[in-house]
Chain A
Amino acid sequence: MSHDIWDVLGIEPTRDRDTIRRAYARKLRVTNPEDDAEGFMRLREAHDEAVARIDWDWMWEEDEEGEDADGGQAGDPHAASPTLAPVALATMERALPASPAPPTPEAEELQARIERLELLLRGYEIAPAAELEAAFHAVLNAEALEQIAVADEVEARLSHLLLETAPRSDALLAPAVDAFRWRRDDLHFEPSAAAEAIIQRRDFVERRDRLLRNDDQASAVVAVLQGPPTAKVPLWRRLNPRFEIVMKTLLERLGAGDGVLMAGFDAETVALWRRRYERPRLSSGMIWFTLGAPLLAPLIAAVNNLSPPTLLAVYLATAGVILAGQLFYLHGYLRLKTAWEIHRSWRAGALERIGWAPLSLVLLPVSALLPDTLWSPLAVTGLGALLLAWTYITTDEASGLALPLHQRLLGQVVPFAWALSLPLFDVDVITPSMILALGVAAAVDFRGGTQVIQAWHLEMAKPLRLLGALAFLAAVIVAGLAAWRMTGETLPAWAPLCVAVVLALAIGHRLPTAVLGEQLAQVRYYGMFVLFWLSRGLDVIVGSWLVISTLWMLIGMAVGVILSLTIEARDRTSAR
């Protein structure tokens, strides 16, 4: 096809647009679209191809003749860099007064407003965002902008101005994207390089602002990256697991080859931190774990009734395993975290993922004080419902009512610690309403925990990871049963079988749960949790809990399988 387009057009190969157009016009009289659609389509394709080639042929030639043409063209800046010339010219035109014709009052007004905006953006004083926005809108509302030619010119000029003055112009990015209707979801929109850069920067600024709101670690990271490279970062800051994670994420984004994002940061500092993170190093999470392990000792002692020498041995063994793990990690044999960090939900701290519920604490003393009558569970339920609503509002960051992170964390830790230590006490001190209260408190805590379940499903796609996750689950359940035994009950002989069945069902229901959606999955987990504690409080044996949760899962699975089959059948018919 490539060689005969010139035959179709009936001319010698050429790069002259006019010749091509004339030949096309001549041929059109014979093969016009009305009478000879096929012939016309061939002709039009040949024409389009020939016009498209004007550019590439020219580039080819540039390569070949590059050297010898150099001397001759040096005197003429236009010929020397033809690709740059139009841009340079356009820039020059922008710098000069618009046209030799006497400017109209509207044009003068517009010019004045643009100059004012420019002064605000480039001046020594840093103008407040509101003032910048007012100046920006003053430009956009200028009467002269109704003229399309002027509007186009101003659009180009403003986008360059905004880019050049970043990060001071950050407050204007979103208004600019709105005002110029730069919409990525519209195929009509073909962004210029500047527009593309502004949209990217707007996205970055939005993401950064979201990150900084309610997040001390993220602000610390940004402060570090924006500060001078020599500034010391306090150790306690760097030892926070989230500091490292946020830093890595940000470095990754900055390293994605995006010059615009880099505008807000000092290149040297960023490079320094990147080098630091490229070196193998001790993970702060691991350090914390090693340091924190001894604190678990009293708990383990209370549960297992172990002698101090045994405890010491257990601790040393654990520490040895952890240190060995770190060695593997340092030498690059252990690469678990990279896969987890794909999803942002995993990057969030574990406690943060669980959600917020300081007020759920109130339920515990209230339920303990209530006389154990038929009405007390109802009262607790009512309180719990109110609490759930309150939690919903305060954990929703978009609502603006979300409490600061550290307060949330404090609230989360206490009920959980309490809940985990419950089996240690005598069963008789636990009233049914207290158990109900705990169930609600746990549900409230899980309110923010949706992401755990979601991430769980996403991560379990690979068989190996699935096995790892299942092993973890089994360990948790067996540990729970072991703790149970300490309270006096004996574990039924078939309990391990039940654990196996539950695990098998957990594998089976993974897909259906994903299909059902996180909301439903969440509700189910609440249900299982509450049922567990209810059955515990009502002195039902452990086996019944397993039966109940198995039934629960079976129902969910049946619904899920039917749903997923229908959805899969629908997906299968859609094309890629």
Chain B
Amino acid sequence: MIIGIDLGTTNSAVGVWRDGKVELVPNSLGAVLTPSAVGLDNDGALLVGLAARERRSTHPHLTATTFKRYMGTTRATRLGDKSYSPEELSALVLARLKADAEAYLGEPVREAVITVPAYFNDKQRKATRRAGELAGLKVERLLNEPTAAALAYGIHELADETRFLVFDLGGGTFDVSVLEIFEGVIEVRSSTGDNRLGGEDFNKVLVDRMRAAHREAFAADLLGEALTTRLDAAAEKARRALTTADRAEMAVTWKDQAYTLEVTAEDFEAAAAPLLAKLKEPVTRALRDGGLRPDDLKEIILVGGATRMPVVRRAVTRMFGRFPSTAVHPDEAVVIGAAIQAGLKSRDVALKDVVMTDVCPYSLGVDVAEQGPGGALRTGIFSPVIERNTVVPASRSKIFSTMQNGQRKVLFGIYQGEARMVSENVRLGEVEIPVPPAKAGEISLECRFSYDVNGLIEIDVLVPQTNERRQLVIVDEDDRNAPDLETRRAALAALKVNPRDTDANRAAMARAQRCYEMFLGDVREHVGMLLSQFEGVLDGQDPRQIDAARQQLLAALDELEGESFL
């Protein structure tokens, strides 16, 4: 059985294709969405999911969130006395999702389709695949998130000939894809995005307002992580409240002092205007690259939690002059698409006529030098080999020649991006190849780039004169000396992770603790009382009583702080 996983910045989810339809797998708390958070409990066990998320504001140093943004980098997060790489943290989340799926399906799971933002580069994709492998999953396919969402939508529109746009604004990334369906083929025509824009940036807007409103109070802890996470949490809550209400109260308790700020929807829209303006360019670009005009689109599909925000919806409506579709669930579309892809991958009968083609969202190429008019050498110019929005898998080659008399070797720097100068693009690696000495320009080199369906790149350089050949499967320089996958997997498996079945209790406890810190005075005492009551029941170890007590506690907390916001 192949499972489909949406590994998000804020939340993750898992689904399967069974009996001709998608089934979303609930986690131990009964919810589809599992927060992408990892924390360290006081007893030294790792918490994954809601329990960790709840502890974010009370134990900022022991909680890791939004690590997907650092995927593909070596940035280490310290939890207690161990530090974790972004891919290890992701692996922990994936392992939890795998366990949920195994519990739901009643059989072991070994293979998965994992979604990544379309704009993830090779490094980030490799890191995601390694994370899957660390979690004991063979990653059958890395699927672009907007493509997944398009699958979730398109699977019901196969009979039609239609074009649509997927607007995917997640917690940390923004992707836009333009698709066409014809004759049962779902074809991505173009895909662009901004991998540094998401719901978290909208939180920052509110955090900045809060900081500005209470400048003196927060001045001493301007860069403190504890305060930042707390403000983030409050901002997130306020932002969600603004989805339905005209105004929301942002409340933070810091050093036993309550600070509040009332935010109205208009204020928020005005403050978020620069971010909203950034949404337009990728959309325009995707349309232009896809050769379509806004009128050609049948629907605009909104995906990703951040598109729930009325400001974003309004911005999209203004962009297209009409309302976007609500045909798919913004949080679940990606996981549904991943599950469909898993079904496609396992050649499910119900999907045998569905074919989907995707594109490479960015240009890939090498750095070259040019002789200027005055004879001056200009280096670092980007020469694309695979142009962006080429249908994948693709393999393209380009001929280059030597630059100097008697040149002995050629060094190709491999880059990804759209700027004319390589210095503004992402460097992926380099290939060096010896050439026989000759006059400048007499030796030619064929450089072939292959880009597979998973978005992974292979480079093959050939010197026809000598038949010398060099291959490069892009490897992250930082990973060359890292311990091999097997050891790392064993190390990760040996970590003490909080068992799945006590998750619900841990999450409830964590939430109560957070409330305790948040409220002051009488309410705080009341929460303290609830907390000790629940702890008493936990000590009794009677599952039925514990369940009842937990429900009671959660209901009481709901009453105090409004609905849980995950």
Contacts and interface: CB of A to CB of B under 8 A. Distances in A.
Nearest to A23: B183
B400 A576 contact: yes
Interface in B177-196: 182-185, 192
B368 A576 contact: yes
Contacts of B90: none
Interface string B361-373: 0010011111101
B147 interface: no
A461 B409 CA distance: 26
A26 B355 CA distance: 10
Contacts of B283: 148
B321 interface: yes
A40 B450 CA distance: 13
A32 B355 contact: yes
Given A21-B183, A186-B418, A34 B453 contact: yes
Contact of B393 (A41, A185, A186, A576): A41
B379 A146 contact: no
A351 interface: no
A573 interface: yes
Most buried by B among A28, A34, A146, A576: A576
A102 B289 CA distance: 31
B333 to A, nearest CB: 21
B258 interface: no
A152 interface: yes
B445 A34 contact: no
Of A25, A33, A147, A575, most buried by chain B (CB within 10 Å of CB) is A575
A33 B185 contact: no
A150 B295 CA distance: 11
B445 A575 contact: yes
B523 interface: no
B234 interface: no
Contacts of B318: 146-147
B418 A188 contact: yes
B412 interface: yes
Contacts of B402: 575-576
Interface string B114-143: 000000000000000000000000000100
B420 A185 contact: yes
Contacts of A184: 420
Given A44-B391, A186-B420, A575-B369, A148 B400 contact: no
Given A149-B295, A574-B411, A576-B400, A187 B321 contact: no
Contacts of B404: 571-572
A461 B452 contact: no
B345 A573 contact: no
A184 B419 CA distance: 9
B505 to A, nearest CB: 43
B355 A29 contact: yes
Interface size class of B (residues with CB under 8 A): 35 or more
A28 B185 contact: yes
B474 interface: no
A53 interface: no
Contact of B319 (A34, A40, A147, A576): A147
A343 interface: yes
A54 interface: no
Contacts of A574: 367-369, 379, 403, 410-411
B344 A25 contact: no
Given A41-B394, A184-B420, A575-B410, A25 B184 contact: yes
A148 B288 CA distance: 11
A188 B382 CA distance: 13
Given A44-B391, A342-B374, A575 B420 contact: no
B284 A148 contact: yes
Interface in B324-375: 344-345, 353, 355, 357-358, 363, 366-371, 373-375
Interface in A108-161: 146-152
Given A28-B185, A186-B418, A342-B374, A148 B319 contact: yes
Contact of A152 (B293, B374, B379): B293
A152 B394 CA distance: 31
Interface string A207-225: 0000000000000000000
A22 interface: yes
B367 A37 contact: no
B345 A34 contact: yes
Contacts of B418: 186-188
Interface string A533-576: 00000000000000000000000000000000000000111111
Contacts of A576: 368-371, 400-403, 440-441
Nearest to B404: A572
A573 B432 CA distance: 9
- For the complex of A and B, list the 6 residue pairs with the smallest distance between their C-beta atoms, beginning with the closest: A25-B183, A576-B403, A146-B318, A149-B294, A187-B418, A37-B393
Interface of B: 141, 182-185, 192, 280-281, 283-285, 287-289, 293-295, 315, 318-321, 344-345, 353, 355, 357-358, 363, 366-371, 373-375, 377, 379, 382, 384, 388, 391-395, 400-404, 407-412, 418-421, 424, 432, 440-441, 445, 452-453
19 contacts: A25-B183, A33-B355, A37-B453, A146-B280, A148-B284, A148-B319, A187-B382, A188-B388, A343-B374, A458-B375, A571-B379, A572-B403, A572-B408, A573-B407, A573-B432, A574-B403, A575-B366, A575-B400, A576-B369
